[in-house]
Structure 1
């Protein structure tokens, strides 16, 4: 009996030691070691497709980010700037290419940040959930939020290119749609003019008793200010197949609906109910695009009217 107990004790001790080692190693890799591509020389954005790499955070050189751009030949200061947020594949270059013709036709400067992460299949907190919390659940300072990175990129573009624009528009599809709607909720002070959240996989409902990212518990969100921003929930009428893309099926996610179209409607209606209850200003709208499913290219085309008007 004593021998069995000693063996069991050793197994538990070894298991705990291994888990502790993996946790420490994971934390060091994710939050201590420098990450990202090599910083590029500071220069103005060229016409056509271009890219640059800057530090993601103003107060830290630990992480860098690559930013893809497309600038039409006739684009000038004060013309519109549109940030395009990629999906879960983190393929910013593909999203940029989907906007090239749209940019030429509507004279838009396109900015597509690339939130690179080798472990993006296993962790989503660093991008679509805004990096509010680390993978281990600890709170990150606001200066390290993913949403702050967008504001930092805007500042960089303005200063390097002598741009005087005071606002920008932003479009995100799928995981990018999650990014956009949460940015409006969590950073209403951002300089976004029109935000378009397209075909999000799931949402942060305005429920203070539900943990983030499914609710807003422990986030200190001021929804009254968030509702003053212009947010468009853009849904594909045919985005009702949960087998397309990465679709979260946790209990809290399934409570929002069995597919993306239903979840988007649930999110909008929940916020509308809260707005009506408090009689707040509400600049959010919902738009369902006919005959379109989970397709970022087609959803991008249909977002243009919201950006133009």
Structure 2
């Protein structure tokens, strides 16, 4: 299911020791949160082929093959990795959680892998495999084509998951599928938060496959208007002051807000993003101890800092914001769940009692109609 990991540990240790020798270099790196400078340790062995020019592919780790008919599958879990792009690890976290829940046999676990160009060059997964920038895949930007690694078309990372959902909804392959869960932690939580607002899940009455989104410990969230929390509070919101705007003029640009959307989100449109996000079934799974304001992987750019000082606070504030923006009825579709004693760990979050309940417990009432395969953009988004 997963390619063997290569021996990067010594290289990573050497890089770490080099950074420790220069506080100036370390400080510079902190301005680009959670950048993984090494190529990914392992590339998943499975490939999902996208029906676009050249039949481009995305690696994924799984316990079952996506296109292979399986009567036993009742639940699908799509788990989104973090900045390190370690889809194999995130697949394992979710498999462990499924075993604890006693649901592994009837669950297909899919961990798509959004690679960067250095992964393509170092791991050589094939000249038909898609790759993105470090921030691009998290935000739904289009994949890249470079002179060194040309690709015949560019595809949004969000369309990759739309395409995966369409395959899961094929009743000729998974006739007994009852629910789909999309879960992401850290950068994967950022992906899931924004994808929930812009996914191609139809909002119709006569739907058949329940959907749920698990947003775990992201560094930042997508706000629906210009308001942010009033400094020093967690439940009061206002448009930032003139001074705050001057200090952070891009605070409401995508990925933090709905200004200057990328190509994928522009195609959805601001009004639809706002309306359909309220109708999604979303769980904000927050680690009670994920409170370090100095964590290396924490987004410390000014738009993120306007959302709170650290991840647990940002999640708490965002959930309060949703109630202010949409009204208290949002609690019917959006839920905040705290995981006691857990900090910034995807393994611990998904394998907690709370994580297992939200991922493998009762199905929500919202559904996915059998979607058509999405239309892919062919121009790279630079946002």
TM-score, normalised with respect to structure 1: 0.71
Matched-pair contact (CA < 8 Å) for 1:51–1:69? no
User: Which one scores higher on RCO, CA 8 angstroms, separation ≥ 6?
Assistant: 2
1:288 aligns with 2:283: no
Of 144, 156, 161, 1:150 maps to: 161
SS in 2 for 1:240: coil
Secondary structure at 1:170 match in 2: strand
Specify which of 60, 70, 94 is matched with residue 53 of structure 2.
60
Any stretches of 5+ residues in structure 2 without a counterpart? 1-43, 120-131, 146-153, 203-208, 228-251, 363-383
Structure 1 residue 224 corresponds to structure 2 residue 236: no
Distance 1:129 1:180 in 2: 9
After TM superposition, the structure 1 stretch with the greater mean CA deviation from structure 2, 166-175 or 100-109, is: 100-109
RMSD of aligned Cα (Å): 3.1
Change in Cα spacing, 1:263 to 1:132, as seen in structure 2 (3 Å) is farther
Q: Specify whether residues 132 and 114 from structure 1 end up closer, same or farther in structure 2 by C-alpha distance, changes over 3 A only.
A: closer
1:101 counterpart residue number: 96
Match of 1:116 in 2: 115
Query: Is the partner of 1:152 in helix, strand or coil?
Result: helix
* CA distance in 2: counterparts of 1:193 and 1:79, whole angstroms: 13
2:219 to 187, 192, 201: 201
- Does the aligned pair in 2 maintain the 1:168–1:192 contact within 8 Å? yes
Structure 1 residues 244 and 118 mapped into 2: Cα distance closer, same or farther (>3 Å)?
A: farther
Cα distance in 2 for residues equivalent to 1:115 and 1:296: 17
Larger radius of gyration: 1
Is 2:253 the counterpart of 1:211? yes
1:213 alignment partner, SS class? coil
Out of 298, 321, 328, which is 1:247 matched to?
298
Distance 1:179 1:267, change over 3 A: same
Q: Are the equivalent residues in 1 in contact too, given 2:133–2:143 (CA < 8 A)? A: no
Is 2:293 the counterpart of 1:300?
no
For the Cα contact (< 8 Å) 2:187–2:218, is it kept in 1?
yes
The CA distance in 2 between the partners of 1:272 and 1:134, in whole Å, is: 38
TM-score, normalising length: structure 2: 0.58
SS of 1:226's equivalent? helix
Contact preservation (8 Å) 2:117, 2:133 = no
Cα distance change on mapping 1:206 and 1:157 into 2, 3 Å: closer
Equivalent-residue separation in structure 2 for 1:169 and 1:187 (angstroms): 13
Aligned residue-pair number = 248
Give SS of 1:88's match: coil
1:127-206 correspondence runs (5 A):
127-131=137-141, 144-156=155-167, 162-164=173-175, 165=177, 167-187=179-199, 189=201, 193-206=211-224
Structure 1 residues without counterparts, runs of 5 or longer:
1-49, 136-142
Cα distance change of structure 1 residues 125 and 287 upon mapping to structure 2, 3 Å threshold? same
1:272 to 317, 323, 330: 323
